[in-house]
A = this chain, B = another copy of it.
Amino acid sequence: MTTKTRSQAAPEGYDPSKFPAFAVTVDVVILTMSESRLHVLLVRRGVPPFQGMWAIPGGFKRPTETLDEAAKRELAEETGVDSASLLAQFGAYGDPGRDPRMNVVTVAYLAVLREVAGIVAGTDAAAATLVPVSAALNGAIELAFDHARIVRDAVERVRIDLELTGIATAFVGPTFTMAELRAVYEAVWGVHLDGANFRRRVGGEDGWVIPTGRRARPGSTGGKPAELFRAGRLWKQGGPIRYPQTTDKGKGKR
């Protein structure tokens, strides 16, 4: 209304060197399964502000790299992992004052890892740890900056993507059993899924997962050896597993 015809271009007489300067950082929420629970990797801050507090790893974007490249670089620097099972941008955060030092806009990425062993070892052991997301979300562990919100948004994204994409296979190994895959859904959603029906859905002829012909060896408590599968066609929308509805009979369609 006030200054029309602005567009992205500058008004007449504009000097390109006069724009509000921001630092742009790329922060990565690194999630993995551990002990049947969803965990997030945190690093301890060694310098002010928020010195000594836990934070998600991240760093400044370089002018010569893309955002995706910056995320990949940060992930490698923090975990020693060259490539995550999944690395996807999910939001940007730019509230004034979110960093007391300067104007910072952060582009947030979600990384999903399957190998938990040796991840933390890739960094200074005292400076990195894997904590259950529940601890980070309920305030048991206080996070620096607005990282609590960023982690919350990342987990919410995972919850949604479990139903819509093949993201679940990013949490398990290159080959996996039905029980392992099902455990991802059950841990993130906090529900119980019927094993028989789960198998039928993802194991249908459509190829959501592909049998390898091999079998896992049973645990020490016995039991039939489970079939091993590998990830099949990655669905991009409308996967086979749906979040369970209110199973309160009759009413309540969805």
Q: In the complex, which residues of chain B have a beta carbon less than 8 angstroms from the beta carbon of A24?
A: 20, 22, 24, 94, 105
What separation, in Å, do the CA atoms of A10 and B99 have in the docked complex? 13
Q: In the complex, which residues of chain B have a beta carbon less than 8 angstroms from the beta carbon of A103?
A: 63
A173 within 8 A of B: no
In the complex, which range does the number of interface residues on chain A fall in? 35 or more
A220 within 8 A of B: no
State whether B25 touches A22 (Cβ < 8 A). no
Whether A92 contacts B67 in the complex (CB less than 8 A), given A24-B20, A45-B8, comes out as yes
State whether A253 touches B204 (Cβ < 8 A). yes
Among A20, A55, A240, A243, find the residue whose CB has the most chain B CB atoms closer than 10 A.
A20
A39 within 8 A of B: no
Chain A, residues 78-106, CB within 8 Å of chain B (1/0): the string is: 10100000000101111110000111010
What separation, in Å, do the CA atoms of A102 and B14 have in the docked complex? 14
Determine how close the nearest CB of chain B comes to the CB of A203; give it in whole angstroms: 12
- Segment of A30-38, A121-129, A132-140, A184-192 in the binding face: A121-129
Determine how close the nearest CB of chain B comes to the CB of A245; give it in whole angstroms: 8
What separation, in Å, do the CA atoms of A168 and B42 have in the docked complex? 39
Whether A77 contacts B47 in the complex (CB less than 8 A), given A66-B94, A94-B61, comes out as no
Apart from A3-B77, A7-B59, what 11 extra A-B contacts exist at CB < 8 Å?
A4-B127, A5-B46, A5-B123, A6-B78, A8-B58, A12-B46, A12-B47, A14-B47, A94-B107, A206-B254, A240-B254
- Measuring CB to CB, which residues of chain A are less than 8 angstroms from any residue of chain B? 1-10, 12, 14, 16-17, 19-25, 27, 43-47, 51, 55-67, 74, 76-78, 80, 89, 91-96, 101-103, 105, 107, 122-124, 127, 144-145, 160, 163-164, 204, 206, 235, 237-240, 242-243, 252-254
